A and B are shown apart, each in its own frame.
Chain A
């Protein structure tokens, strides 16, 4: 039932937007409609959850399901009307069958391209094998990454237990970050839990972004006038970065941020008449009103994408500022060219460009990402809290931190800023990790893509290919301005530029590029083999295959990245995963290592911090919060209270069983869990 609900709503949601965009096929290319469907689907998910979570405060599975069924039905109705209008205009009736026909047509074109190139065929097979492997691992293992357990999944847990997107009480260091972080991507994680009533596939959420990124890179390459075959090379090479392969099975947001940046760039580039790609438009499409309409639609899509990005991570404002500047430049150049380049019109051009910016870009950005910053401004007096914003020694927004919270490793600090990325790209590491700080972009980036970036930049400058120079400058600016650009996971988008550049290079060399294609194949195969992390060992794979799905928990996994810190927590994590049911409330009395394992795997239980200086007050709080189980540290004040209580009642003899307030259900060397008996109290 849960799976049926999840599949139905996703099918309906994305199909509705695809059919809607199919009606706009004169305005967006096929791949742009695919990425557009992803962006619009994601927009609907986020807006629906925010509406239910912030305004109505009823963010539960059924209201979310019915709201989305309603929205998707409206979208389908609009698409149907658009189809009728189109039929009246062109005399051609577009049926739903045409949607399937187009899909199958594009698929056969793709297959024809792949079949005509043996090396590309093998790369496609390796790509499919890698995606299957990612899905297998994502399904088999729970979310095991540090930040996922620390705050990405607790954000989801807090929303699911209250049915509301709201501030949580600030009891620990991480609680303040749970409150201040923008949460768009976490709302997508929640989407992949709430219907299934299980967190089993939520760690694959970023895989959707990875696949969208592949389409975006392909689309940008085609817009650079690269042949479709070389564009497929570009798209697939983007995928083969170890950091992308490893992070696709984690609840991190780095792939999402980089891919959204690339998608937004893609929508900002006008789609010129193609050369021989199956994405080509007819020259007639570029005439007059329709062209302007196409620019507006693409602008809105770029705005929505940027808005989702803005609301996904604290670095969102940096990308938003760059994309805003790019939008204004794009509009100004367009109006400058179409206005006959008269000097007197300069002011008018600026006004029109800003009007377009506000209407088609800023408003979607604000709607999709503005809420989190406005909320922080109202609650904490600073939109980017806890970062302090100063301007010429004047504090504009007061915060807790002036610099970076997480300092760079000593090895990096000792290097010149320009040498830092180079050191990281050379990957002086002995293994990969989903957040490997000193490596992760892989050999393809350093060996093939980096030289291709320089080659394509020079070639584009000579050929006056301003589109490529435009995206190069945009991506380079984002890279140079990012305060932690030495860390590969924050700048995954540069592999997008590299992949597009490689497509341009291959296209230039044509048949002579066979050596490069062979090198690409070798490095792709090498990347497939070496993209393993010590967090998922063959021994653990074997063990998990033999375990019952309910037993595939973080404690049974004991991954390398947390094991040393979390060993003493495993006992009570296992007890919680086996015993805490829907409706139970687990109270805790200390700052735990991770909050996420305190919920059950469906996030259908509740957690609450219950602390007090006095026993009676504490008991009152337990009752008020309807705590069914209490987790305490051994020998803590609460443990002493519970033990004293037990001693008193045991002295009463047979009456003890009736009067007992606590029943110890779990105990190890460090922790105890007691069932709280409210009715007897």
Chain B
């Protein structure tokens, strides 16, 4: 039981670290521009497909 609760705490801690890392990663100033570029890419992809289809 003790080992299991320790495991739970470690798991929660790890998940918190992952969330923190995700927050740091997605909050860099260039990220919105990056995502915007990717959205543009896919918009162009679908519009091209529709035109050719």
| A residues lining the B interface (CB < 8 Å) | 426-431, 443, 446-448, 450-451, 455, 505, 508-509, 512-513, 515-516, 519, 529-530, 532, 534, 537-539, 541-542, 545
Contact of A447 among B18, B30, B47 (CB under 8 A): B18
Nearest residue, chain B, Cβ from A520: B18
Contacts of A545 in B (CB 8 A): 52
- Return 5 A-B CB contacts under 8 Å, by A number: A451-B18, A455-B14, A509-B10, A538-B45, A542-B49
Is there an interface contact between A542 and B33, defined as CB atoms closer than 8 Å? no
Given A509-B11, A538-B45, A539-B48, A430:B18 Cβ within 8 A:
no
Is there an interface contact between A428 and B15, defined as CB atoms closer than 8 Å? no
Contact of A426 among B25, B38, B51 (CB under 8 A): B25
Nearest residue, chain B, Cβ from A432: B34
B46 to chain A, nearest CB (A): 8
Contacts of A427 in B (CB 8 A): 25, 28, 30, 34
Contacts of B49 in A (CB 8 A): 538, 542
Does B22 count as interface, using CB distance less than 8 angstroms?
Answer: yes
In the bound complex, how far is the Cα of B39 from the Cα of A529, in angstroms? Answer: 9
Is there an interface contact between B18 and A448, defined as CB atoms closer than 8 Å? yes
B41 to chain A, nearest CB (A): 5
A343 to chain B, nearest CB (A): 40
CB within 8 Å of A: which B1-46 residues: 7-8, 10-11, 14-15, 17-18, 21-22, 24-26, 28-30, 33-35, 37-38, 41-42, 44-45
A445 to chain B, nearest CB (A): 10
Given A429-B30, A431-B34, A538-B45, A447:B21 Cβ within 8 A:
yes
Given A447-B22, A530-B34, A512:B7 Cβ within 8 A:
yes
Contacts of B14 in A (CB 8 A): 451, 455, 505, 509, 516
Nearest residue, chain A, Cβ from B52: A542
Contacts of B47 in A (CB 8 A): 538
Is there an interface contact between A532 and B28, defined as CB atoms closer than 8 Å? no
Contact of B15 among A426, A508, A516, A538 (CB under 8 A): A516
Is there an interface contact between A431 and B37, defined as CB atoms closer than 8 Å? yes
Q: How would you classify the secondary structure of chain B's contact residues: helix, strand, loop or mixed? A: helix
Nearest residue, chain B, Cβ from A451: B17
A501 to chain B, nearest CB (A): 12
In the bound complex, how far is the Cα of B45 from the Cα of A148, in angstroms? Answer: 27
In the bound complex, how far is the Cα of B51 from the Cα of A427, in angstroms? Answer: 34
Contacts of B41 in A (CB 8 A): 532, 537-538
Contacts of A519 in B (CB 8 A): 18, 22
Contacts of A509 in B (CB 8 A): 7, 10-11, 14
Contacts of B11 in A (CB 8 A): 509, 512-513
Contacts of B35 in A (CB 8 A): 530
Is there an interface contact between A430 and B34, defined as CB atoms closer than 8 Å? yes
Most buried by B among A428, A447, A519: A447
Contacts of B25 in A (CB 8 A): 426-427, 443, 446-447
Nearest residue, chain B, Cβ from A429: B30
Is there an interface contact between B44 and A446, defined as CB atoms closer than 8 Å? no
In the bound complex, how far is the Cα of B52 from the Cα of A539, in angstroms? Answer: 11
Is there an interface contact between A428 and B8, defined as CB atoms closer than 8 Å? no
Is there an interface contact between B28 and A428, defined as CB atoms closer than 8 Å? yes
Is there an interface contact between B44 and A532, defined as CB atoms closer than 8 Å? no
Contacts of A451 in B (CB 8 A): 14, 17-18, 21
Is there an interface contact between B30 and A430, defined as CB atoms closer than 8 Å? yes
Contacts of A542 in B (CB 8 A): 48-49, 51-52
Contacts of A515 in B (CB 8 A): 15
B18 to chain A, nearest CB (A): 6
Nearest residue, chain A, Cβ from B32: A430
Nearest residue, chain B, Cβ from A459: B10
In the bound complex, how far is the Cα of B28 from the Cα of A430, in angstroms? Answer: 11
Is there an interface contact between A426 and B42, defined as CB atoms closer than 8 Å? no
Contacts of A537 in B (CB 8 A): 41, 44
Is there an interface contact between B30 and A428, defined as CB atoms closer than 8 Å? yes
Nearest residue, chain B, Cβ from A522: B22
- Known A429-B30, A451-B18, A534-B37; further 7 A-B contacts with Cβ < 8 A: A430-B34, A430-B37, A529-B38, A529-B42, A530-B34, A532-B38, A542-B49
In the bound complex, how far is the Cα of B18 from the Cα of A545, in angstroms? Answer: 41
Q: Which 3 A-B pairs have the closest CB atoms?
A: A538-B45, A538-B44, A430-B33
In the bound complex, how far is the Cα of B35 from the Cα of A454, in angstroms? Answer: 29
Given A430-B30, A532-B41, A537-B41, A450:B48 Cβ within 8 A:
no
In the bound complex, how far is the Cα of B36 from the Cα of A534, in angstroms? Answer: 13
In the bound complex, how far is the Cα of B35 from the Cα of A253, in angstroms? Answer: 29
Contacts of B38 in A (CB 8 A): 529-530, 532
Contacts of A450 in B (CB 8 A): 21
In the bound complex, how far is the Cα of B30 from the Cα of A431, in angstroms? Answer: 10
In the bound complex, how far is the Cα of B49 from the Cα of A603, in angstroms? Answer: 34
Contacts of A446 in B (CB 8 A): 21, 24-25
